[in-house]
Amino acid sequence: MTETTSYSPPPELNSFQRDAIAVGIGGVVLCILGWLLGPEQFFRAYLIGYMFWLSITLGCLAIVMLQHLTGGDWGLVIQRLLESATRTLPLMVLLFIPLALGLNKLYPWLRAAEGHSGEQPPDAWMSVPFFLLRAGFYFATWLIMAYYLNRWSQEQDRNADPQLKRRLQILSGPGLVLYGLTATFAATDWLMSLVPEWYSTIFGLRVIGSQALSAMAFVIAAAALLYRRAPMNRVFTTKHFHDLGKLLLTFVMIWAYLAFSQLLIIWAGNLPEEIPFYLPRMQTSWRWVGISLVVFQFALPFLLLLSRELKQHAQQLIAVAALAIVLRFIDLVWLVNPQFHPQGIHFSWLDPIVVIAIGGIWLAFFVWQLRVRPLLPLHDPRLLEALVRH
């Protein structure tokens, strides 16, 4: 057990953190330039980049609660990766500030409220103060859950008290319910309200499925880079990658099922208040982006992940995870940009730049959090079993 408990971060993490900071700073400079050249386009790109990295953060929060409830070796080897990602939530709160400053550039309902003539008071729900108050509630809920999940996990490293494991399980049950509710309302506020005349009762679930897919793809990529180094090489086996690959396949299918269900329900209903979202995405060149999502975010990963051999091979699995991460960015572009460019496909150079800028900052913060704690949950009963089996 000595190798595991005396873990010191691999030197590659230090250099990776420095590189991420440099990339983040360079990206921020380009973002400032983009904001000066076109504020409206900047805030649209910022919404895409922010939701991309928030999806990974919240997806990790959900998966860490899921693994506390279900147990299993798959959760043991990625628990600290998941926890480190949840501790980036304070950073995401700060990064929400630019988004809050650009609300009137993004949401047509806000511009309508600002131009209100005064005969009839605007809906209180569609107001900036209440919008920000709701956002504060969402972040407070996520932060509180992440705080206790990480605090009790850290106490478990110092104390083998079985009650700590029980506490984590008790929190995770209601925590998943709260996560589902807050993530649904946040998706409605921050994404669905881009098309204020449209609604979908399944949209929140679709976003939650996307968050789980983003998080699992990211964690697989991170685990594949660490599994050959101590202490991960003491417990990581091909079986773990096989389990993680099966989970990735599950989340791919969940995302596809929810996305298709939303389309099918709206298509069958054909109601005027439900179709505005799909009209520009199906009757213009945006449909090719939708087709690429069907092929590369569902069909291709689905077929590849059916292979048992691929799921047990780290380098092949990381390629599929990387494809899923790239397609998650394309999915967000498809969700956001057609509202502002309904005539057809439009990509801005700021779209990838903002994702890279926020990503450099986020990854540097993530690595910092990863380095401050052991990579494996000490005193977890599953750890000794895994060491014996290995």
Q: Considering just the CA atoms, what is the radius of gyration of the chain in Å? A: 21
Residue-level pLDDT, tens digit, the chain, 390 residues: 444 444 555 777 888 999 999 999 999 999 999 999 999 999 999 999 999 999 999 999 999 999 999 877 788 889 999 999 999 999 999 999 999 999 999 998 886 665 544 444 456 777 889 999 999 999 999 999 999 999 998 888 888 777 888 899 999 999 999 999 999 999 999 999 998 888 888 999 999 999 999 999 999 999 988 888 777 777 788 888 999 999 999 999 999 999 999 999 888 888 777 888 998 999 999 999 999 999 999 999 999 999 999 998 889 999 999 999 999 999 999 999 999 999 999 999 999 999 999 999 999 999 999 988 888 887 776 666 655 555
The whole-angstrom separation of Cα 50 and Cα 96 is 8
Q: In this predicted structure, what is the pLDDT of residue 120? A: 44
Task: Please choose, from the candidates 41, 57, 130, the residue with its C-alpha nearest in 3D space to the C-alpha of residue 92.
Answer: 57
SS3 state at 385: helix
* Helix axes of 73-86 and 203-226: crossing angle, nearest 10 degrees: 110
Q: In this predicted structure, what is the pLDDT of residue 2? A: 41
CB atoms near residue 160 (< 10 Å):
12
Give yes or no for a contact between 57 and 86, defined as CB atoms under 8 angstroms apart.
yes
Q: In this predicted structure, what is the pLDDT of residue 368? A: 94
DSSP designation for 193 = G
Q: In this predicted structure, what is the pLDDT of residue 198? A: 87
All residues at 6 or more sequence positions from 116 whose CB lies less than 8 Å from its CB, including other chains = 122
The whole-angstrom separation of Cα 135 and Cα 61 is 17
Q: In this predicted structure, what is the pLDDT of residue 117? A: 44
What pTM does this model have?
0.93
Give yes or no for a contact between 24 and 357, defined as CB atoms under 8 angstroms apart.
yes
